[in-house]
Amino acid sequence: MSNLSAGTPKISKCGRLRRRFPAFVLCYNFIRNPVSAAVVGRRAFYCHMPDLQAIEETVESALAQDAFELVDMNYVQEGGRWILRFFVDKHGGINLDDCQRVSEKIGSILDAAEMMTHSYSLEVSSPGLDRILKKEKDFERFSGHRVKVRLKKAQNGRRKFQGYLRGTEDDSLVLESGDSTIRLRLASIEEARLDPELKV
């Protein structure tokens, strides 16, 4: 099966699995963890939200052993169900078989470590043409590419910037936009993504 390339649409929700747990789990540690509550009849049940940082670190380490890169992860509720999404990549791109294999591996890891406390759907896909850039190594790797950046707070009256990435310098992201060089503090960035130039 061919790998994904720069001109291929992103894989959508491939390797999707549903993990089943009791609908509500009594949380004994809800003071130290974010909690969600559901009222059934007159009884309230609490379940602590999963430790997303621990999940990310565990999965990232496990995938690296197989030369896969964990690009991003999010945990959202859609249509009344929880979805745990992983965006994964590797050198040369990933294909559907990779997605399925990674999905099964992540599911096994989470089950074995009992890191999830309630029902959820697991989704694995490629990062897409507009892949998110989160780590400093991402900014170095994609130097020369066009990117779009959104800040947490406005800088000089602007929150959104576009330009060509020139790497990082002194804890700042360096962009080239026209004849200007823009420096944005890494800590001030809310989101940065590749901004591919589509050729017609």
CATH number at residue 144: 2.30.30.100
Per-residue confidence (pLDDT) for residue 31, from 0 to 100: 21
- What is the extent of the structural domain holding 161? 136-194
DSSP 97: H
pTM of the model: 0.71
Tokens of 52: 């997303």
CA angle 163, 164, 166 (to 5 degrees): 130
pLDDT tens digit string along 147-195? 999 999 999 899 999 999 999 999 999 999 989 999 999 999 999 999 9
Over 60: is that where the pLDDT of 98 sits?
Answer: yes
Could you tell me if 159 and 185 lie in one domain?
yes
Is residue 102's pLDDT more than 90?
yes
Task: Verify that 55 and 143 share a domain, yes or no.
Answer: no
pLDDT at 110 over 60: yes
Mean pLDDT of 107-128: 89
Whether residue 16 is predicted with pLDDT greater than 60 in this model: the reply is no
- Same-domain status, 140 and 47: no
Are 19 and 109 within one domain?
yes
Per-residue model confidence (pLDDT) at position 80? 83
Per-residue pLDDT averaged across 50-62, rounded?
A: 94
Same-domain status, 159 and 86: no
What's the one-letter identity of residue 51? D
Same-domain status, 64 and 148: no
Q: Per the domain annotation, does 186 fall within a domain?
A: yes
118 with 152, same domain? no
| Displacement of CA 63 from its chain's centroid (Å) | 14
Q: Where a domain ends, among 125, 158, 176?
A: 125
| Number of domains comprising the chain | 2
For residues 120 and 29, is the Cβ–Cβ distance under 8 A? no
* Same-domain check for residues 57 and 142: no
